[in-house]
Chains A and B, each alone.
Chain A
Amino acid sequence: NAGVTQTPKFQVLKTGQSMTLQCAQDMNHNSMYWYRQDPGMGLRLIYYSASEGTTDKGEVPNGYNVSRLNKREFSLRLESAAPSQTSVYFCASSKQGINQPQHFGDGTRLSIL
């Protein structure tokens, strides 16, 4: 059972470089999410997609863009990376509804020099 798959697992970028983080889920979930995890701050929502064809900003969207390519795939793009974007990025998916738990990938560890 693959669940939520994120690529790459690790990446080092230089300031100003661009990059796309990939996420795919095989659970037929409608909703997908991108979070960043920083020490002592829990998870902060960057963007989410409630259903295919829709995307919405979360708590910390600045410096990021997303694309919901199809029901399975939801990518996160950093157009011009900054050191403040050094973090661990998690993609998650869920069925729709507030009772539904989210299923997480194993994360992408991104360092920006």
Chain B
Amino acid sequence: GNSVTQMEGPVTLSEEAFLTINCTYTATGYPSLFWYVQYPGEGLQLLLKATKADDKGSNKGFEATYRKETTSFHLEKGSVQVSDSAVYFCALSEITGGFKTIFGAGTRLFVKA
């Protein structure tokens, strides 16, 4: 079946470091891909999305490129801030036997000042 696999956390970085959170997926069709962020005590918020191969989603300095050949959608940011500390979820949506969104397990990021 369809699935999303994220790198395990927690990831701990110093402020201004480069961030990569890996995400790979399996899907039978042509999914849309998303990154969501969850701050403590809150629900998930959309961070960025990409709807077809080679699309790049970007928002707030974060980027991710839809790579169909490697079935990946890795999240990157060039210089993290303390305020980026949160849990990040990769997700895919497709219509196979009904509409479905599948979330990865989440990756917790800690950024130290």
Contact = CB atoms under 8 A, between A and B. Distances in A.
Interface of A: 4, 31, 33, 40-43, 45, 48, 50, 56, 90, 92, 98-107
A40 to B, nearest CB: 6
B92 to A, nearest CB: 9
Given A43-B89, A98-B94, A99-B32, A50 B99 contact: yes
Interface residues of B: mostly helix, strand, loop or mixed?
Answer: strand
A42 B43 contact: no
Contacts of A31: 99
B45 A41 contact: no
A41 B105 contact: yes
A104 B105 contact: no
Which one of B36, B95, B99 has the highest number of Cβ atoms from chain A below 10 Å of its Cβ?
B99
